[in-house]
Amino acid sequence: MDGQQYQLAAEAFRSLRTNLQYAALGSPLRILTVTAAGPDEGKSFITANLAVAMAQGGTRVLAVGADLRRPALHRAFGLDYRVGLTSVLMGRMSLEEAVRHTEPWGVDVLPSGPLPPNPAELLGSRQMAALLEEMKQRWELVLLDTPPVVALSDAALLAARSDGVLLVVTAYQTPRDVVVAARRQLEQVGARILGVVLNRVRPSESGRYHYYYYYYSRDGSSAESPRDGRWSHAERPSASLAGRATGVMADRIPGGRDA
């Protein structure tokens, strides 16, 4: 990704942050579920970057790896997933023991922990409800990275307990009926869909994007072949987060600290 594209990406996350703040006007937004219609739409990437953008706007943020099927959030921050959410839910350790503070980004991260055989049961448990309450007390914003909403109940369970949901959709790829099904499932549990993030928009079209059009790519080629640029395939995507992206976000977002 070249410098201009980084700026586009950083700009996209910054306006995503602003739009969320507008969307949440009138009712508090403390727990936000990030989900996708289908697999591989890049929601962990979105979650991680949104968390960084929020933290750099001065919000105390906790990013939670609540995808207990194919965890990816930890990779964005260069963490190990083996200690985390499930360790806390199963009473093996306390929340503060499991949460990692990521220094360069100012984001607190709770990775998934060991993967259970029964994710939905665990995420729908009373312990999870209590844990979300505890998180709400201690962080201003809790971002939940969840599995895709279609075909699995995990995300819907968490969405029902959240103040809002962001739905990640891959541009030009996710079929309309899949997105519609996702929306229906979320609405059935009474979730409040705050917006849709359109991922992997082609740069050539980004010139005329508006609020909900965001572009990202690791190497600029994702638009043509979704797999090449698939961010979660990188060995340690955190390198890109840590290096240039954060630089862009930290340095070039106007009013980053006091927004």
Partner 1 sequence: MAIGRGDGLVDIHHHLLPGLDDGPRDWGQALELAREAVRAGIRTVVATPHVRPGQPGQPTRAAVVEMVDELRSRLASEGIELEVLAGAEVYPVPDLPRWLAGGSGASWDLGQGSQIRYLLLDLPFDRLPPNFDRLIFEVALTGVTPIIAHPERNRQLAERPQLLIPLVEQGVVLQVTAGSLVGAFGREAQHASMWLVRRGLARVVATDAHDVVRRSPLAMREAYRYLSRHVGVAMAEHLCSRWPLEVARGEPLSAAPPMDGAAPAQARPTGVRGLARGLRAWWQRMASSF
Shortest distance, position 184 Cβ to partner 1, whole Å: 16
Q: What value, to the nearest 5°, has the Cα angle with vertex 7 and ends 203 and 28?
A: 100
Q: Which residues contact 120 (CB under 8 A, 6 or more apart)?
A: 152, 153, 154, 157
Shortest distance, position 82 Cβ to partner 1, whole Å: 7
Residue ranges in 109-241 assigned as alpha helix (H): 119-123, 126-138, 154-160, 176-188, 203-206, 238-240
Nearer to partner 1, 83 or 253 (CB): 83
Nearer to partner 1, 57 or 71 (CB): 71
Map the footprint of partner 1 across residues 225-244, applying CB under 8 A: 225-227, 235
- Applying CB under 8 A, does 205 fall inside the site for partner 1? no
Token pair for residue 225?
């072949």
- Applying CB under 8 A, does 150 fall inside the site for partner 1? yes
Residue pair 198/191 in contact (Cβ under 8 Å)? The answer is: no
Binds partner 1 (CB under 8 A): choice among 3, 92, 138, 251: 92
Q: From residue 116, give the alpha-carbon distance in Å to each of 4, 68, 75, 123.
A: 42, 7, 19, 10
- Applying CB under 8 A, does 40 fall inside the site for partner 1? yes
- Applying CB under 8 A, does 80 fall inside the site for partner 1? yes
- Applying CB under 8 A, does 3 fall inside the site for partner 1? no
- Applying CB under 8 A, does 180 fall inside the site for partner 1? no
